[in-house]
Amino acid sequence: MELVITFTLILLLFVLLASGTWIGLSLVGVAWIGMELFTSRPVGDAMAVTIWGASSSWTLTALPLFLWMGEILFRTRLSEDMFKGLAPWLELLPGRLLHTNVIGCTIFAAVSGSSAATCATIGKMTLPELNKRGYPEGITIGTLAGAGTLGLMIPPSIIMIVYGVTANVSIAKLFIAGVFPGMLLAGLFMGYIVVWALLNPGKIPSATEKLPFARKMRESLSLIPVVTLIALVLGSIYTGIATATEAAAIGVVGSLSISAAQGALSKKSFLDSLLGACRLYCMIALILAGAAFLTLAMGYMGLPRQLAEWIGGLGLTPFALIVALMVFYIVLGCFLDGISMVVITMAVILPTVEKAGIDLIWFGVFVVLVVEMAQITPPIGFNLFVLQGITGRQITWLARQALPMFLLIAFAVLLVYAFPGIITWLPKQMAG
């Protein structure tokens, strides 16, 4: 009976989403109907208390601050400075300037936290430059689509904050856990570029000019502002000097300072960045509030426990469970954005994961990895939408170019399962 109720509510949720109803309101509506029909708890009282509790969480303060930091930096010439500082050092690598997509996204991810913002910012900077120099469009766009997903993994990550709040685990530990997997993905993407370049030597343009070492060092000075900001934000978390929220505040002050030093800080850019962060946060906050109420409703109906027992009765090994969840999230990613996927599913999935003895920090990074795969999966792959806006290409063509990156992320999932220390080692050092 409980499974019938579960699938009925899920179907109702998808009907509401398909009708164009806001995600947050759809979650509240399904929770209201479920509690009204299947529990004796007063619905209005429960909704008011739950939504207030979800909205007033101090931990969530880090979210709008990191969003604001990303919006401020989006309006500076940070991306141009990164290209200028990185390009001279990449001429000797097979694939040459194609690596600016991956390294640029890796660096910007460490000050952004958003996959779409990372993809858009680096794409606006590298695509015209690489196209002008004669690099093949397919590999250029494909590597950018994959590397843009690093905005979700490399801290500070917006989706990690959402998962941390939803699953009640340490955001600082999640941030630290994302470092090695983020570096692993960047390494896999760069390795793919090297192999592709060696197999297709005629398609990579020759080096334009060989700069002397002293000139390379001078060009590298452009990286100092962004490297300093990354060191301040992430260093303060890793050393235990600041919490994630305090580090976010440091990041806002640092990004405002960089913007002012570059002459990009004006009344208009300040207000635009503030309003941009507010709009994005309000959308996320409504989804989180709706998800909190849906979680409560499901708890009163006993659905998570029943579903966990049902999945447990299937006798799945931890590996089979992880593979099943990976397929589940990839399919879900065809219809929902990453944050919605996390908040909608956690109430049901977490009891099952805990019962299987899977570490919640490890599982958080796993979820981010599969959400990254969803970012480049049609029809609702956010990175594909961003690239479509930049290039004007069809989603299906973009998805084909991104397919190797999708497979590399799937390979990374298998690696972190086989070697969980890739995720858990750094957080354990912090605990020690």
Span 92-108, pLDDT tens digits: 788 888 898 898 888 88
Q: How far is CA 267 from CA 68, 79, 131, 263, in A?
A: 15, 21, 35, 12
Tell me what percent of the residues of the chain surpass a pLDDT of 90: 20
pTM (predicted TM-score) = 0.78
- Confidence (pLDDT) at 207: 67
Q: In the predicted model, is pLDDT for residue 432 greater than 60?
A: no
Q: What is the pLDDT of residue 1?
A: 61
**pLDDT given for residue 351 in this prediction:** 83
Q: In whole angstroms, give the CA distance from residue 415 to residue 341.
A: 23
> Average pLDDT for residues 17-31, to the nearest whole number?
82
Residue 124 clears pLDDT 90, i.e. is over it: no
Q: What is the pLDDT of residues 388-412, one digit of tens each?
A: 877 888 888 998 999 999 999 999 9
| Average pLDDT value for residue range 58-64 | 76
State the Cα–Cα distance between residues 172 and 274, nearest whole angstrom. Answer: 25
Which three-class secondary structure state does DSSP give residue 203? helix
**Between 222 and 253, where is the model more confident?**
253
Residue 20 has pLDDT above 90, yes or no: no
Q: Are 367 and 97 in contact (CB under 8 A)?
A: no
Residue 355 is encoded by which pair of tokens? 């019962």
Q: Name the band, by pLDDT with cuts 50, 70 and 90, for residue 305.
A: low
Distance of CA 53 to the CA centre of its chain: 25
DSSP 100-147: HHHHHHHHHHHHH--HHHHHHHHHHHHHHHHHHTT--HHHHHHHHHHH
| Domain extent at residue 356 | 2-431
Q: What b/e sequence results for 419-428 when a residue is b if at least 16 CB atoms lie within 10 Å of its CB, and e otherwise?
A: ebebbbebbe
Residue ranges of E strands in 182-318: none
Q: How many domains does the chain fold into?
A: 1
